[in-house]
């Protein structure tokens, strides 16, 4: 870890945007009851699973009435593209405005998602909308799932270490509601249909050689890939689109591996868990957050922002951890010198750790 602050990019701002269509969880439960009660042997079980995830309501990319007409992958993806572009534009504009940076000053644009596909990609469409300069370096990333918010942050920071005088933007857009598989009555799909929501987050980072502004520096990062865990989490691509793969072993993987990953990462930097004041965790679900707390032996309240985000908007896949980071920045709670650890896990199965310092 370099002692030269110019080698450490700064997280200047996080913009967060939720779709305008909010639906409370009980209304959604009623919709799913009508959809699945004739096919499932135990309709009450559906409701129990949806209530157990601890989500009070979610924001949807489209009005609830429109989802009935979305049959097949093509229609869902055709709805995903304009919704993702619109939401992404709002998130990037919010983040840039918070940082006081113009779109034309952005040198690197990273885009992560796992809920839809487009060529040209969403980042390309935003270059036109935002009138970014034609020399902006674009990197669209698909397939990292829930871990992509953390991974995208590290990739943007890596680029700014090579170009410390430049500006990078990371954008995450996840419209999980447009991946729903109506004919899949697996426990994994039933849980996912009650857990995941829609949203977008954008992060502005500046290279360390630029005039310093407010926000934490990215001191270091660590990727941990777990061999032979491909079926723990991900998608199967079927005729209807993205069919969720979500093993019940996810909390066990977190509980077994995360503590060691964090200790090795911090130990290599001459640090320990006790030095971390702010824990910024992906909102994977109640069992995943409980596993994080147990694996890291965290004090009560350490993941309060993650729990609250899960309750209020659901799991936003890659955008979730960025929402939690944004809430921390807005709170003004962090003080100069504080250390924070941002962490997420996702398909692979893998973890991404990001060390921040205010």
Task: Please give the order of strands across the beta sheet that includes 278-281.
Answer: 137-142, 108-113, 167-175, 198-206, 10-17, 217-225, 350-357, 339-346, 278-281
Whole-angstrom distance, CA of residue 16 vs CA of residue 94:
7
SS3 per-residue string spanning the chain: CCCCHHHCCEEEEEEEECCCEEEEHHHHHHHHHHHHCCCCCCHHHHHHHHHHCCCCEEEECCCHHHHHHCCCHHHHHHHHHHHHHHHHHHHHHHHHHHHCCCHHHCCEEEEEECCCCCCCCHHHHHHHHHCCCCCCEEEEEECCHHHHHHHHHHHHHHHHHHCCCCEEEEEEEEEHHHHCCCCCCCHHHHHHHHHECEEEEEEEEECCCCCCCCCCEEEEEEEEECCCCCCCEEEEEECCEEEEEECCCHHHHHHHHHHHHHHHHHHHCCCCHHHCCEEEECCCCHHHHHHHHHHHCCCCCCCHHHHHHHHHHCECHHHHHHHHHHHHHHHCCCCCCCEEEEEEEECCCEEEEEEEEC
> Token pair of 140, please?
């669209």
146 in catalytic set: yes
> Token pair of 222, please?
């660590």
Q: Which of 76, 146, 292, 350 is catalytic?
A: 146
- Which residues are part of the catalytic machinery? 146
């Amino acid at each position: 870890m370099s002692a030269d602050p110019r080698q450490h990019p700064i997280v200047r701002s996080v913009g967060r945007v939720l779709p305008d269509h909010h639906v409370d969880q009980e209304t959604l439960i009623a919709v799913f009851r009508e959809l699945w009660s004739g096919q499932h042997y135990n309709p009450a079980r559906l409701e129990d699973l949806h209530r157990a995830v601890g989500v009070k309501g979610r924001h949807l990319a489209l009005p609830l009435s429109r989802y009935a007409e979305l049959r097949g992958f093509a229609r869902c993806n055709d709805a995903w593209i304009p919704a993702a572009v619109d939401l992404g534009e709002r998130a990037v504009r919010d983040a840039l405005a918070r940082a006081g940076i113009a779109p034309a000053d952005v040198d690197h644009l990273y885009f992560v998602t796992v809920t839809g596909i487009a060529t040209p990609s969403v980042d390309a469409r935003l270059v036109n909308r935002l009138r970014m300069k034609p020399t902006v370096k674009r990197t669209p990333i698909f397939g990292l799932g829930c871990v992509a918010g953390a991974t995208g942050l590290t990739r943007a920071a890596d680029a700014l270490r090579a170009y410390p005088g430049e500006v990078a933007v990371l954008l995450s857009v996840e419209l999980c509601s447009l991946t729903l598989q109506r004919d899949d009555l697996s426990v994994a799909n039933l849980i996912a249909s009650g857990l995941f929501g829609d949203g977008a987050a954008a992060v502005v980072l500046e290279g360390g050689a630029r005039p310093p502004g407010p926000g934490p520096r990215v001191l270091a990062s660590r990727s941990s890939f777990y061999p032979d865990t491909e079926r723990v989490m991900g998608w199967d691509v079927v005729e209807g689109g993205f069919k969720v793969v979500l093993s019940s072993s996810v909390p066990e993987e977190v509980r077994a591996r995360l503590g060691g990953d964090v200790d090795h990462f911090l130990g290599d930097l001459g640090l320990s868990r006790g030095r971390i004041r702010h824990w910024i965790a992906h909102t994977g679900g109640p069992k995943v957050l409980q596993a994080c707390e147990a694996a890291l032996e965290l004090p009560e309240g350490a993941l309060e922002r993650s729990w609250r985000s899960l309750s209020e908007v659901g799991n936003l896949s890659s955008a979730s951890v960025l929402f939690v980071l944004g809430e921390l920045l807005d709170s003004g709670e962090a003080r100069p010198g504080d250390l924070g650890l941002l962490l997420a896990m996702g398909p692979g199965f893998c973890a991404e750790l990001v060390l921040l310092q205010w």
